[in-house]
């Protein structure tokens, strides 16, 4: 193995484990888990809750050890735990560190006593991406994210895949590409961290809807309609929130969308499928060790759309099914019956004015 410094991964869930194994093809890896029994299992048998870890992945339970041994760190934690993780890890970080997160979710700071609902107007300043949390909670400035069609189970099996690393710093993109690139894992670069993060998050809402299409047996034509309309909705909202259009029509947007909308391996797809089969959201989420990010994202994106004064028909439909008691069959029927008189209108999205 190379004498390069180890690379850190914070989070030993399915995606964190997959990234750790890919990184291990190029250098040693320090994998943080908050569970001592998981760390001990990896050390003793290389088993991480059914996932086999590479021999040069060292499991630790101490943020300080990760920070002291690694300059490049990949935080990959559920969005609900990300801020606490950033605060804990941040106590040991310096400006020399580089953090590239792999979390596809939002963090929302609401006024005390307020909750997200179908008619809530959510100010964008109250919605944080994971890179914004890192900048707020740590001293690190060299921040990036990765997003793309990255189903963890396939990555753990060594199947080919690709991702996008986005950062405003070219050196962050280069460092991540050098650490992650393998013959079976391609790593593209982008400076549009806003667009890439939004694309990676919002596609989860569409994946939930796609699972509903499967659960209801509506067929592939209906799925194609849903994905194409969902992509337009995602690009429209994403551009209004400051993303570049190219992010939504690349790997992190349409690429990730195709993967998660077509695979029962996707947690968000599974939520939609099981809800469409008659289970409640509470029943479905009890079976997950990590909450499907699209559940919270549905609430967030509808609140943002309300504030922006724009319609988001698919997001509205998913919200009504998940949270307002609308039957999945009735909701999808209403969405499919919506009149779409115009196909993709690039001028409406801004590309016709030289933007994006």
Distances (CA, A) of 276 to 45, 79, 273, 323: 39, 25, 5, 13
Given a cut of 70, whether residue 244 has pLDDT beyond it is: yes
Taking the C-alpha atoms of residue 331 and residue 126, their distance in angstroms, rounded to an integer, is: 29
DSSP state, residue 189? E
- In this predicted structure, the answer to whether residue 27 has a pLDDT above a threshold of 60 is yes
Q: Which two tokens stand for residue 315?
A: 């997001």
Residue 356 pLDDT grade (very low, low, confident, very high; cuts 50, 70, 90): very low
* Residues 139/93, Cβ–Cβ less than 8 Å: yes
Q: Other C-beta atoms within 10 Å of 106: how many?
A: 26
The widest CA-to-CA distance across the chain, in whole angstroms, is 61
Name 241's Cβ contacts closer than 8 Å, sequence gap at least 6: 124, 194, 198, 304, 308
DSSP for 68-112, written as a single string: HH-SEEEE---HHHHHHHHHHHHTT--TT-EEEE-----EE-PPT
Give the pLDDT score at 35: 96
Q: What is the pLDDT of residue 114?
A: 80
**pLDDT band at residue 353 using 50, 70 and 90 as cut-offs:** very low
pLDDT band at 74 (very low <50, low <70, confident <90, very high): very high
Query: Which of helix, strand or coil describes residue 156?
Result: helix
What pLDDT score does 355 carry?
A: 32
> For residues 117 and 104, which has the higher predicted lDDT (pLDDT)?
104
Bridge-based pairing state of the strands 185-190 and 127-128: unpaired
Choose among 154, 260, 144: nearest CA to 201: 260
Between CA 268 and CA 202, with CA 90 as vertex, the angle to 5 degrees is 20
Are 267 and 288 in contact by the 8 Å Cβ rule? The answer is yes
Q: What is the pTM of this model?
A: 0.92
Which segments of the chain belong to CATH 3.40.50.720? 7-191
Residue 343 has pLDDT above 80, yes or no: no
DSSP 3-state percent helix, strand, coil across the chain (nearest 5): 50, 15, 35
Six-digit token pair at 172?
């962050």
Q: What is the pLDDT of residues 246-258, one digit of tens each?
A: 999 999 999 999 9
Give the tens place of pLDDT for each residue, 277-334. Answer: 999 999 998 887 777 899 999 999 999 999 999 989 999 999 999 999 999 999 999 9
* Check whether domain 7-191 has CATH 3.40.50.720, yes or no: yes
CA angle, 93 then 83 then 301, to 5°: 135
Q: Which of residues 162 and 118 earns the better pLDDT score? A: 162
Reported as a pLDDT band with limits 50, 70 and 90, residue 220 is very high
Domain topology for 202-350: 1.10.1040
Output the DSSP codes for 296-314.
HHHHHHHHHHHHHT---HH
Percent of the chain with pLDDT over 90: 87
Phi, psi (degrees; rounded to nearest 5) at 107: -120, 130
What pLDDT shows up at residue 116? 81
Beta partners for residue 142, in sequence order: 98
Tell me, what's the pLDDT at 148? 96
> DSSP states of 32-51 as a string?
E-S-HHHHHHHHHHSEETTE
Which residues, including other chains, have CB under 8 Å from residue 287's CB and lie 6 or more apart?
none
Give SS3 for 63.
helix
Mean pLDDT of 104-114: 89
| Catalytic machinery residues | 203
Q: Where do you find CATH 1.10.1040.10 in the chain?
A: 202-350
Share the mean pLDDT of the chain.
92
Question: What is the Cβ-side half-sphere exposure of residue 171, based on CA atoms within 13 angstroms?
Answer: 8
- Span 6-24, mean pLDDT? 97
Whether pLDDT at 234 is above 90: yes
pLDDT average, residue stretch 166-188: 98
Determine the pLDDT at residue 352.
Answer: 36
Q: How far apart are CA 288 and CA 283, in angstroms?
A: 10
Instruction: Output the six-digit token pair for 202.
Output: 């919002």
Element (H, E) at 262: helix 256-262
């Amino acid at each position: 193995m190379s004498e390069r410094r180890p690379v850190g991964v914070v989070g030993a869930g399915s995606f964190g484990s997959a990234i750790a194994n890919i990184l291990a093809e190029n250098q040693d890896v320090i994998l943080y888990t908050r569970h001592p029994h998981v760390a001990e299992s990896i050390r003793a048998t290389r088993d991480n809750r059914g996932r086999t870890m590479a021999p040069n992945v060292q499991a630790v339970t101490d943020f300080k050890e990760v920070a002291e041994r690694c300059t490049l760190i990949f935080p990959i934690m559920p969005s609900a735990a990300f801020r606490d993780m950033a605060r804990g890890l941040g106590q040991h970080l310096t400006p020399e560190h580089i953090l590239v997160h792999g979390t596809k979710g939002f963090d929302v700071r609401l006024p005390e006593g307020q909750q997200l609902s179908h008619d809530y107007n959510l100010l964008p300043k109250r919605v944080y991406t994971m890179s914004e949390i890192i900048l707020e909670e740590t001293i690190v400035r060299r921040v990036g994210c990765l997003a793309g069609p990255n189903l963890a189970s396939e990555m753990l099996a060594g199947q080919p895949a690709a991702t996008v690393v986005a950062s405003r710093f070219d050196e962050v993109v280069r460092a991540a590409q050098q650490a992650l690139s393998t013959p079976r894992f391609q790593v593209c670069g982008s400076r549009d961290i806003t667009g890439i993060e939004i694309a990676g998050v919002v596609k989860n809402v569409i994946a939930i809807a796609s699972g509903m299409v499967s659960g209801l047996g509506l067929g592939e034509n209906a799925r194609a309609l849903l994905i194409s309309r969902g992509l337009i909705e995602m690009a429209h909202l994403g551009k209004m929130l400051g993303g570049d259009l190219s992010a939504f029509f690349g790997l992190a947007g349409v690429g990730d969308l195709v993967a998660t909308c077509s695979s029962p391996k996707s947690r968000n797809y599974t939520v939609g499928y099981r809800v469409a089969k008659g289970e409640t959201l509470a029943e479905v989420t009890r079976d997950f060790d990590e909450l499907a990010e699209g559940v919270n994202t549905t609430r967030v994106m509808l609140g943002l759309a309300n504030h922006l004064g724009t319609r988001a028909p698919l997001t509205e439909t998913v919200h009504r099914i998940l949270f307002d008691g609308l039957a999945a069959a009735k909701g999808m029927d209403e969405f499919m019956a919506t009149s779409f008189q115009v196909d993709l209108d690039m001028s409406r999205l801004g590309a016709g004015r030289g933007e994006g």
